[in-house]
Structure 1
Amino acid sequence: MAGNTFGRVFTVTSFGESHGVAIGCVVDGCPPGLPISPEEIQQDLDRRKPGTSRHVTQRQETDRVEILSGVFEGITTGTPIALLIRNEDARSRDYGNLAETFRPGHADYTYWQKYGIRDHRGGGRASARETAVRVAAAAIARKWLREKYGVRVRGHLSQLGPLDVPFKSWDAVHGNPFFSADPDRVSELEAFMDELRKSGDSVGAKITVVAEGVPVGWGAPVYAKLDADLAAAMMSINAVKAVEIGAGFRAVEQRGSEHGDELTPDGFTTNHAGGILGGISTGQDIVVTIGIKPTSSIRIPRRSIDKAGRATTIETNGRHDPCVGIRATPIAEAMLALVLIDHSLLHRAQNADVTTSTPKIAARAAETTGSKKSRKPARVNSEPNEA
């Protein structure tokens, strides 16, 4: 199977299945000399792992990471870093009825037609379980980006099903199981999810991730556009069906006089471009929003076919997230960080010595709000701490 390696300079090759012995990855291209420990990686993994609240799957995995190579005396050596996470709570019996049938909305049918063999237990290689190793690899990337450039990557839930979740404060994000930046909406989100779980159905979500402190100049104008790579990276996350950069689809109804971010000596007046112009970072916040479809594994009976092509009805039992988007924020942050470190190293390789006489005005950049009234430049918080 091809297609298991992400990146060009900083690469991540993942392996393993949902109900196999373990999942893991090999990180290659990490610069030497970065202090890193399992405990630092574990902090990000604990934000993504299952069983953290009643609103997500109750599969109990510690997601304890093991560093097998590439780190000596707590310092990266520049050699491949192998990370391993053992599966501890797989209940394969819950998937016995899926060996001969295909779940609607899942990769079961397409996977079978492509490879002629599949591990039906929990989705096998197509399971979102694989995203744990992306989060682990990105913990390394996030630390390097923070220490080298002061880049901070963080995200929040911006919509759960029909419920909009407005942004209020980053301080609120880690105080609730939804990664909501509005603490006043948490009780409403909990009530909504409790009713949804009882119904046996599922719902989608929208996640917004932001990278602050990204220097101007990362990316390239043709086939290596920063936003193109970000879109591909986000679409590689299970269940993601839409990606927006900056204003995204709001740009369709905007006029050019509104959408084009004006430049002043004090900075950009707006950030409808999401921090990227011509495939190259502007120095403003990079803002990416993803749309996640409803979970396909639901208890409600659905029509399908078996391997012989005969009509059948299927309902999925076992432990599943009624909304996979609830745990997706750390995953979206991870993919943003992995793209950024790859582009930072590509930029360093070719353009590290490039200088111009034009001031880098984006040190004062307007936030992306989507508001038609926001015209005043605002200073970006560039403290080198990440959430």
Structure 2
Amino acid sequence: MSTFGEYFKVTTYGESHCRSVGCIVDGCPPGMSLTEDDIQPQMDRRRPGQSSITTPRNEADRVEIQSGTEFGITLGTPIGLRVMNKDQRPKDYGGATIDLYPRPSHADWTYLEKYGVKASSGGGRSSARETIGRVAAGAIAEKYLRLAYGIEIVAFVTSVGKIHLFPPGTEDDSENDDARNQLLSTISRETVDSFQPVRCPDAAKSAEMAQYIEGFKEREDSIGGTVTCVIRNAPIGLGEPCFDKLEALLAHAMLSIPATKGFEIGSGFAGCEIPGSIHNDAFVANPAAAAGAAELAPGAAAMRSKLTTKTNYSGGVQGGISNGAPIYFRVGFKPPATIGKEQTTATYDGSSSGVLAAKGRHDPCVVPRAVPIVEAMAALVIMDTVMAQQARVLSRQFLPKLPSQ
């Protein structure tokens, strides 16, 4: 369906070439300062036309708050968010070939089979244009999480094709592990965005990736890649065993993003090759536990952890529950399906085969623009699990204390 979340619910609407796209956010706490200026920065990071290696579709993607606030303060009622589609070119997707042939690896065929009808232009609901509502809602969730807990969410590109920021299979290499952990503990969005146009936080690798993507664009082809995301200062106790474990919710969220093909948390698949004696995260006293409450956001002060881990192969989650360490994971994106290069395919009715060279505007690689989308979906998951844990903690406080407490 088009709704995500249980406590902080987000329903997105819109197709790639309809009049507008957006979302309804239900469950946002009342009394929080919120204007379009809080949301627009993430919209700008997601929008098309940012560089020569993204789709040339020129959309300002200006977000408008339609409801749920008054005088810049949230009311606790549903928040309506709208973005008008300005640079629509549905005719780019018409013509004999695109009407006859489903695009290979695209949702054209599956949508038609499922619904009996499909959007005739662009990708419809399968288009990355749908993610506008997610990013807008994620920005609202992020503001609450930052104010209440000091939570920071930062994503960045870690590979394009076979070019990797960190060599694959080096999770048990202490030098690479230290470099990775240092990056995860210090990386900021400002730093990520300084490495344009790819958003890989290494000058040499970023330049190599950009040139690599340009080559695919020139050949009217496409390439995939991965995005890594870190969530810092998330409180301990997030996640609902057994079926709504935190990593399961994050995987659900990430794999709902268009073009995703893989998810791994912490050491991921490479961790399967590491002995338990190395992979186990030893517990140590948390130096941050002694920090004064005045130095922390209100929620962080109430949910400080006495312990942390010496290593973090678990990715901040153990038994499906956050352990207070940074949560980090990686998402894999396939090459975009819509390409100008000629491809052999079959007609919709299966009566014959032919050649399709797709028209329209598309990204040769989605990972640079996927960064804020990954951050948004991470924020929605953490917001939902925070609100679930808040309800549990608050309801427990009304009970008489147990003898052991």
TM-score by length of 1: 0.89
Please name the residue that 1:153 is paired with.
153
> Does residue 1:299 correspond to 2:340, yes or no?
yes
Question: Which of 162, 172, 181 does residue 191 from structure 2 map onto?
Answer: 172
- Listed as ranges, the matches of 1:44-55 within 5 Å are 44-55=42-53
> Which secondary structure does the structure 2 equivalent of 1:244 belong to?
strand
Residue type at the aligned position of 2:228: T
Measured in 2, the distance between the counterparts of 1:15 and 1:26 equals: 8
Question: Which of 271, 283, 305 does residue 263 from structure 1 map onto?
Answer: 283
Residue type at the aligned position of 2:252: A
Is contact 2:222-2:339 (8 Å) kept?
Answer: yes
> Which secondary structure does the structure 2 equivalent of 1:26 belong to?
strand
Is contact 2:197-2:210 (8 Å) kept?
Answer: no
Question: Which of 210, 214, 219 does residue 234 from structure 2 map onto?
Answer: 214
> Does residue 1:96 correspond to 2:94, yes or no?
yes
> Which secondary structure does the structure 2 equivalent of 1:13 belong to?
strand
- Which of structure 1's runs of 4+ aligned residues deviate more than 4 A? 166-169, 353-356
- Greater mean deviation of Cα atoms: 301-310 or 166-175: 166-175
Measured in 1, the distance between the counterparts of 2:53 and 2:239 equals: 38
- Greater mean deviation of Cα atoms: 16-25 or 120-129: 120-129
Question: Which of 358, 362, 378 does residue 336 from structure 1 map onto?
Answer: 378
> Does residue 1:281 correspond to 2:322, yes or no?
yes
Measured in 1, the distance between the counterparts of 2:327 and 2:241 equals: 16
- Listed as ranges, the matches of 1:357-376 within 5 Å are none
Please name the residue that 1:112 is paired with.
112
Shift of 1:352: 3.7
Residue type at the aligned position of 1:283: G
Shift of 1:252: 1.2
> Does residue 1:78 correspond to 2:81, yes or no?
no
What do the CA deviations read for 1:257-297 (whole angstroms, capped 9, x no partner)?
A: 11121112243111111111111100010101000001111
- Listed as ranges, the matches of 1:175-186 within 5 Å are 175=194, 176-186=196-206
Please name the residue that 2:172 is paired with.
none
Is contact 2:24-2:81 (8 Å) kept?
Answer: yes
Measured in 2, the distance between the counterparts of 1:110 and 1:335 equals: 24
Measured in 2, the distance between the counterparts of 1:283 and 1:292 equals: 28
Shift of 1:126: 1.2
> Which secondary structure does the structure 1 equivalent of 2:123 belong to?
helix
Please name the residue that 1:10 is paired with.
8
Please name the residue that 2:254 is paired with.
234
Is contact 1:247-1:273 (8 Å) kept?
Answer: yes
What do the CA deviations read for 1:84-123 (whole angstroms, capped 9, x no partner)?
A: 0000001111111323320011111111101000012111
Residue type at the aligned position of 2:309: F
Residue type at the aligned position of 2:26: D
Please name the residue that 1:377 is paired with.
none
Is contact 1:205-1:326 (8 Å) kept?
Answer: no
Measured in 2, the distance between the counterparts of 1:185 and 1:227 equals: 29
Residue type at the aligned position of 2:335: P
Is contact 1:220-1:278 (8 Å) kept?
Answer: no
Please name the residue that 1:121 is paired with.
121
> Which secondary structure does the structure 2 equivalent of 1:340 belong to?
helix
- Structure 2 portions without partners, runs of 5+: 167-179, 287-307
In structure 2, the CA distance between the partners of 1:269 and 1:354, relative to structure 1 (3 Å rule), is farther
Measured in 2, the distance between the counterparts of 1:279 and 1:354 equals: 21
Please name the residue that 1:379 is paired with.
none
- Structure with the higher fraction of residues in helix conformation: 2
Residue type at the aligned position of 2:199: F
Question: Which of 358, 362, 377 does residue 316 from structure 1 map onto?
Answer: 358
Residue type at the aligned position of 2:378: L
- Greater mean deviation of Cα atoms: 298-307 or 330-339: 298-307
Is contact 2:141-2:380 (8 Å) kept?
Answer: yes
Please name the residue that 2:368 is paired with.
326
Is contact 1:20-1:87 (8 Å) kept?
Answer: yes
Residue type at the aligned position of 1:159: S
> Which secondary structure does the structure 1 equivalent of 2:52 belong to?
coil
Residue type at the aligned position of 1:7: G
Measured in 1, the distance between the counterparts of 2:152 and 2:60 equals: 26
Shift of 1:342: 0.3
CA-based RMSD of the aligned residues comes to 1.6
Please name the residue that 1:366 is paired with.
none
Is contact 2:16-2:123 (8 Å) kept?
Answer: yes
Measured in 2, the distance between the counterparts of 1:194 and 1:33 equals: 47
Is contact 1:70-1:78 (8 Å) kept?
Answer: yes
Measured in 1, the distance between the counterparts of 2:281 and 2:7 equals: 31
Residue type at the aligned position of 1:31: P
Aligned length: 355
Percent identity of the aligned residues?
43
TM-score by length of 2: 0.85
Measured in 1, the distance between the counterparts of 2:127 and 2:120 equals: 10
Shift of 1:43: 0.6
Question: Which of 29, 33, 36 does residue 34 from structure 2 map onto?
Answer: 36
What do the CA deviations read for 1:233-266 (whole angstroms, capped 9, x no partner)?
A: 0000000000001111012101111112111224
What do the CA deviations read for 1:18-60 (whole angstroms, capped 9, x no partner)?
A: 0000001000000001101101100110001000100100000
- Greater mean deviation of Cα atoms: 93-102 or 124-133: 93-102
Shift of 1:354: 5.9
